[in-house]
């Protein structure tokens, strides 16, 4: 087994050398071919190296370093893994973009370790497996010792590089998110600040939702309520043909001064929603489970149960129409699609019997 694995390891090693020298074309289809070749040869080299190290263990190579059977076998496994990792990444990193690596990876790639490193294991393996030399034979002992040591050093260095690089990437990602959040916050605040009496409140209504950032939401709500006729403006949006669902953002969690004024407009908006759904489904070219999430049905139900609490019977028929509208027959290719809002409506209707 050891001899066959040795030969196979040499073959896959030669394949890795042939794949990487001269420099491969890493653009277009050639890059995909190179990646597939690297993966195939790396996998083959890993499997054959396992066989090689099993063969070396049987002839007592690792017993020279550790006497206890358990620790001897564990050492063999660790050294095999380290050997495979070092050879594979010597190939994988050689021509890769490693400018962002920390320190060890560029050094490993630039020193052409793929050419000379495996020989530190192959040469003494040939002496022991094919020429019958003892593991204590001086040349074999020296080559094995250096090869195993380099395997461990290279693997540890690559691991440290990876950990440091991941930490760096995470910090950069957090910084980027914070920058984006700050820019978005400033954009929202400018939008709220710039709203004047000649403009509709429609543009800032999405900023008043209960799950929006508290400071932005409070500023948007205060801006809207600073207008003397803001309730009538909100009612006008509720009874509009297309924008009624934007009003749900405000009504979900922000109290109005005269809730009774909103009962009929909310009911009419629900009926409009049912009509829109019935019109949309038969002619839809892309129905998915989330297709009607933009109507804000969950927000609407919270408005009915919160802002307009105790009036469930007034809204039951309209909400039932929305539920029936979701059963409108879709185009043949979309039959079987289940909308995510359906169980939400079913639960509300069950809890609010007429």
Same domain as 171, residue 276 = no
Q: Which domain holds residue 328?
A: 230-351
Quote the tokens at residue 257. Answer: 């001064």
Q: What's the DSSP call for residue 154?
A: H
Same domain as 168, residue 250 = no
pLDDT score at 96: 63
311: in domain = yes
pLDDT score at 261: 92
> Using an 8 Å Cβ cutoff, are 301 and 312 in contact?
no
Of the candidates 148, 141, 128, which has an alpha carbon nearest to the alpha carbon of residue 59?
128
Three-class secondary structure of residue 65 per DSSP: coil
59: in domain = yes
Q: Is it the case that residue 319 has pLDDT exceeding 80?
A: yes
Among 159, 176, 193, give the residue marking a domain's end. Answer: 176
Please give the residue that has the higher pLDDT: either 94 or 47. Answer: 47
How far is it, in rounded angstroms, from Cα 324 to Cα 172?
Answer: 49
192: in domain = no
Same domain as 140, residue 252 = no
201: in domain = no
Of the candidates 196, 119, 222, 106, which has an alpha carbon nearest to the alpha carbon of residue 158?
106
What torsion, rounded to 10 degrees, do the Cα atoms 100, 12, 87, 133 define? -170
Q: Is it the case that residue 321 has pLDDT exceeding 90?
A: yes
Tens of pLDDT, residue by residue over 140-163, are: 888 888 989 988 988 888 888 778
Alpha carbon 169 to chain centroid, angstroms: 14
Which residues, at least 6 apart from 49, have a Cβ–Cβ distance to it below 8 Å? 5, 9, 80, 83, 84, 87
Q: Is it the case that residue 97 has pLDDT exceeding 60?
A: no
Contacts of 115-122 with C-beta under 8 Å, sequence gap 24+, read 115/17, 115/21, 117/86, 117/87, 117/90, 117/147, 117/150, 117/154, 118/13, 118/87, 120/144, 120/146, 120/147, 120/150, 121/83, 121/147, 121/148, 121/151, 122/6, 122/9, 122/10, 122/13
Cis-peptide, bond into residue 202, ω within 30° of zero: no
Same domain as 167, residue 255 = no
Instruction: Report CA Rg, the chain.
Output: 35
- Containing H/E element for 40? helix 28-58
Positive or negative: CA dihedral 179, 181, 182, 186: positive
262: in domain = yes
Count of domains in the chain? 2
Lowest model confidence (mean pLDDT) among 90-104, 168-182, 296-310, 336-350:
90-104
Which residues, at least 6 apart from 219, have a Cβ–Cβ distance to it below 8 Å? 189, 192, 207
pLDDT score at 134: 85
200: in domain = no
Tens of pLDDT, residue by residue over 264-280, are: 999 999 999 999 999 99
Per-residue confidence at 212, pLDDT binned at 50, 70, 90? confident
214: in domain = no
How far is it, in rounded angstroms, from Cα 295 to Cα 27?
Answer: 46
Q: How high is the mean pLDDT of the chain?
A: 87
Among 176, 195, 210, give the residue marking a domain's end. Answer: 176
199: in domain = no
Same domain as 23, residue 107 = yes
Same domain as 171, residue 263 = no
Please give the residue that has the higher pLDDT: either 205 or 63. Answer: 205
Terminal CA-CA length for the chain: 79
pLDDT score at 57: 87
How far is it, in rounded angstroms, from Cα 25 to Cα 20?
Answer: 10
Among 156, 176, 196, give the residue marking a domain's end. Answer: 176
């Amino acid at each position: 087994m050891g001899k066959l694995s040795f030969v196979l390891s040499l073959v896959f090693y030669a394949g890795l050398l042939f794949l990487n020298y001269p420099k491969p074309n890493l653009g277009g289809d050639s890059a995909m071919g190179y990646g597939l070749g690297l993966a195939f040869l790396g996998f083959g080299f890993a499997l054959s190296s396992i066989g090689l190290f099993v063969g070396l263990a049987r002839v007592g190579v690792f017993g020279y370093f550790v006497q206890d059977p358990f620790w001897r076998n564990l050492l063999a496994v660790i050294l095999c893994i380290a050997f495979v990792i070092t050879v594979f990444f010597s190939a994988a990193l050689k021509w890769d973009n490693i400018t962002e690596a920390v320190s060890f990876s560029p050094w490993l790639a630039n020193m052409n370790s793929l050419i000379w490193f495996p020989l530190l294991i192959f040469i003494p393996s040939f002496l022991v497996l094919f020429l019958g030399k003892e593991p204590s034979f001086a040349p074999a002992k020296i080559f094995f010792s250096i090869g195993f040591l380099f395997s461990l050093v290279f693997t540890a260095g690559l691991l440290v590089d990876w950990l440091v690089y991941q930490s760096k990437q995470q910090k950069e990602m957090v910084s980027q998110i914070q920058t984006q959040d700050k820019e978005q916050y400033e954009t929202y605040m400018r939008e709220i600040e710039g709203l004047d009496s000649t403009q509709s409140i429609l543009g800032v209504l999405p900023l008043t939702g209960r799950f929006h950032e508290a400071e932005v939401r409070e500023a948007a709500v205060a801006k809207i309520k600073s207008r003397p006729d803001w309730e009538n403006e909100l009612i006008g949006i509720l009874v509009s043909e297309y924008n009624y669902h934007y009003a749900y953002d405000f009504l979900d969690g922000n109290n109005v001064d005269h809730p009774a004024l909103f009962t009929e407009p909310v009911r009419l908006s629900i009926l409009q929603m049912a009509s829109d759904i019935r019109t949309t489904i038969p002619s839809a070219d892309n129905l998915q489970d989330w297709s009607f999430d933009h109507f804000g049905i969950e927000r609407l139900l919270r408005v009915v149960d919160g802002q307009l609490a105790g009036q469930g019977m007034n809204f039951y028929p309209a909400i039932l129409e929305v539920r029936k509208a979701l059963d409108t027959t879709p185009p043949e290719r979309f039959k079987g699609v289940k909308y995510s809002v359906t169980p939400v409506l079913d639960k509300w209707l069950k809890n609010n019997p007429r």
